[in-house]
Structure 1
């Protein structure tokens, strides 16, 4: 039986919690070393976006498996303002806030799979997966 985590995200402390639980679950999936850091960093980036742009949302963390390969799935979802232009938001350096604009594109680079759906006025969902090698 998998041990999934659901982390409500509305403040900086929740980012830390999501990151720690993601690292813990990734360890159970067999990840080690730098992969744990990459996963924790990607979780931090999407959780930070929730706090900065949507005020509140959640991170769902769960083990994944495909073709006998274990991994970790991270789903970040919110009901915030949404992203009007996803292509633009996925470009390094673009930000509607005061950040460096590296969060979403950085998270995409850190993980093996990255999907984003967003609707203005309804919110954003990011699904990321990392697979053991």
Structure 2
């Protein structure tokens, strides 16, 4: 997975969906952090991008998946101030705050999947968060 490609793809897709510059930047920042985590901590992986349409709302769903060591303590990893070092200083918790929907599934020894969704163009569906 190429981090520069992920950032470029997310910015282009968000712009095509009508996201404003601030929302594009938030989504690109979250995607950059999650892609980096997939690469550094998961040993590489894949990202899937899906355009969503619900009534007048348009959104972008990004799923980052790896088969790395997994996260043993998700609550700790999501906590403010937690760092594994060397990143943007944003962490999973920061990425979660930048998007409308966030879910994480991680099992030690099996890998981690993080899915985020951002909405634009009309009122977004109710915010959902899961682990």
TM-score, with length taken from structure 1: 0.84
Answer yes or no: is the 8 Å Cα contact 2:49–2:63 preserved in 1. yes
Answer yes or no: is the 8 Å Cα contact 1:94–1:102 preserved in 2. no
Question: What are the superposed Cα offsets for residues 72-116 of structure 1, whole Å, 9 maximum, x if unpaired?
Answer: 111000000000010110001213445475321111010000000
Determine whether 1:46 maps to 2:34: yes
2:107 maps to what in 1? 119
Structure 1 runs not aligned, ≥5 long = 1-8
2:24 maps to what in 1? 36
Structure 2 runs not aligned, ≥5 long = 123-131
Among candidates 35, 43, 46, match of residue 58 of structure 1: 46
Answer yes or no: is the 8 Å Cα contact 2:6–2:35 preserved in 1. yes
Report the Cα distance in structure 2 between the residues aligned to 1:48 and 1:90, rounded to whole angstroms.
16
Report the Cα distance in structure 2 between the residues aligned to 1:68 and 1:98, rounded to whole angstroms.
40
Report the Cα distance in structure 2 between the residues aligned to 1:127 and 1:34, rounded to whole angstroms.
20
Report the Cα distance in structure 2 between the residues aligned to 1:37 and 1:73, rounded to whole angstroms.
15
Deviation at 1:55, TM superposition (A): 1.5
Answer yes or no: is the 8 Å Cα contact 2:83–2:91 preserved in 1. no
RMSD: 1.5
TM-score, with length taken from structure 2: 0.85
2:125 maps to what in 1? none
Deviation at 1:22, TM superposition (A): 0.7
